[in-house]
């Protein structure tokens, strides 16, 4: 390649970089003017969607932030003064739910009020986590409750006999295959599993009673696994009031002594940053580490924030 061509290539690259920098500067200038990049006192909305599994609370080598990481980040960021936990979960792992419950409690200990907002479903472990919040707002038709514990196994011994399959089992103790699909439970095995279920249920009931400031006996009366609507949950004092997300944000702002129409950030899993994120911001594909989109809703400003 001739020197002339090299020179043209360098000039062209410099022009592209300059254009990108100017465009980004103009964009962020507008964003700053409109308050989109402000780091003042904010209410953070954290989305809690799907089943509760170990992945919900276990770091996944930096690829994306899970729910526990988002809760911790809300606790660290000084601009976040309150949190709305937007719950849409049928439950899942009891141990993972307990860890999330404890993390919500730590947020409150930091002086950051938490309002749980129940959407389509906040049942079983989903409600377990929500009960740790200062207040709970639910849609009238939300499916919630389901305070209970379940262990299941499938008995396929009849099918195995029918098609001529036999399993050979070598085990270290009589109860090692307690949830095997090849045989009925013995009375002793039933007792073992019942003990596990009751112990876990007791932890669930205690957590809800503590979070909702209710007598344990009162919680135990409805801890039979039943699902209920948000309206019924309010009557049973499992929910403070019925309403939507804006009411949850308003309530969180009140608890944090913020203005009635606070600045709101939405915490979501990380997305590409760097040059990819910069190009995305200029083409409308929003990077997770920028606050680049605004929704006007009753004067409340929403922005999206990644890591």
Marked catalytic residue, from 42, 89, 124, 138: 124
Q: How confident is the model at residue 59 (pLDDT cuts 50, 70, 90)?
A: low
pLDDT tens-place string over residues 131-185: 999 999 999 999 999 999 988 877 777 777 788 877 777 888 888 878 777 667 8
Instruction: Return the beta strands (E) in 22-142 as ranges.
Output: 42-49, 80-89, 114-123, 135-138
What residues contact residue 23 under an 8 Å CB cut-off, 6+ apart?
Answer: 282
pLDDT tens-place string over residues 10-37: 566 666 666 665 555 544 443 333 333 4
Marked catalytic residue, from 32, 171, 176, 257: 176
- Residue 60: the pLDDT is 56
Q: Is the dihedral of CA 201, 202, 208, 209 positive or negative?
A: positive
pLDDT tens-place string over residues 254-268: 999 998 888 999 886
Question: Structure tokens of 264?
Answer: 């709101």
**41-146+226-305 classified as CATH 3.30.360.10:** no
49 alpha carbon, distance to own chain's centre? 6
Listed residue (289, 283, 245) closest to 269, CA to CA: 289
DSSP 8-state class, residue 52: B
Q: What angle do CA 27, 35, 23 make, to 5 degrees?
A: 5
pLDDT tens-place string over residues 72-103: 999 999 899 999 999 999 999 899 999 999 99
Instruction: Kindly state the average pLDDT of the residues 38-63.
Output: 75
Domain ranges of the chain: 41-146+226-305
Listed residue (88, 43, 38, 37) closest to 67, CA to CA: 88
- Whether 176 sits among the annotated catalytic residues: the reply is yes
Coil, strand or helix: which one is 25? helix
Listed residue (297, 210, 258) closest to 113, CA to CA: 258
The string over 50-72, giving b where at least 16 C-beta atoms fall within 10 Å of a residue's C-beta and e elsewhere, is eebeebbbeeeeeebbbbbbbbe
81 alpha carbon, distance to own chain's centre? 18
- Whether 93 sits among the annotated catalytic residues: the reply is no
Burial of 9 (0-12, 13-18, 19+ CB in 10 A): exposed
Place of tokens 């205690």: 206
């Amino acid at each position: 390649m001739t020197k002339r061509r090299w020179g043209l290539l360098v000039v062209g690259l410099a022009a592209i970089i300059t254009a990108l920098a100017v465009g980004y500067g103009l964009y962020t200038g507008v964003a700053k003017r409109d308050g989109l990049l402000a780091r003042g006192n904010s209410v953070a909305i954290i989305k809690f969607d799907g089943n509760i599994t170990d992945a919900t609370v276990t770091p996944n080598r930096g690829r994306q932030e899970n729910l526990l990481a988002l809760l911790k980040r809300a606790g660290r960021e000084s601009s976040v003064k309150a949190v709305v936990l937007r719950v849409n979960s049928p439950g899942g792992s009891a141990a993972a739910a307990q860890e999330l419950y404890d993390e919500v409690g730590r947020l409150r200990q930091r002086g950051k009020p938490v309002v749980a907002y129940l959407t389509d479903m906040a049942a079983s472990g989903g409600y377990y986590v929500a009960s740790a919040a200062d207040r709970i707002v639910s849609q009238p038709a939300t499916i919630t409750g389901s305070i209970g514990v379940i262990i299941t196994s499938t008995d396929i011994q009849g099918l195995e006999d029918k098609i001529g399959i036999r399993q050979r089992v070598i085990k270290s103790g009589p109860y090692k295959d307690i949830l095997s699909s090849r045989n009925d439970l013995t009375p002793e095995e039933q007792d073992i599993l019942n003990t596990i279920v009751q112990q876990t249920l007791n932890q669930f009931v205690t957590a809800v009673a503590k979070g909702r400031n209710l007598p344990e006996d009162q919680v135990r009366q409805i801890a039979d696994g039943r699902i209920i609507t948000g309206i019924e949950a309010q009557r049973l004092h499992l929910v403070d009031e019925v309403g939507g997300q804006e009411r949850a944000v308003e309530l969180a702002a009140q608890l944090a002594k913020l203005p009635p129409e606070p600045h709101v950030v939405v915490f979501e899993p990380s997305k590409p940053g760097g040059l990819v994120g910069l190009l995305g911001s200029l083409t409308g594909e929003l990077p997770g580490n920028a606050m680049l989109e605004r929704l006007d809703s009753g004067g409340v400003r929403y922005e999206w924030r990644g890591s």
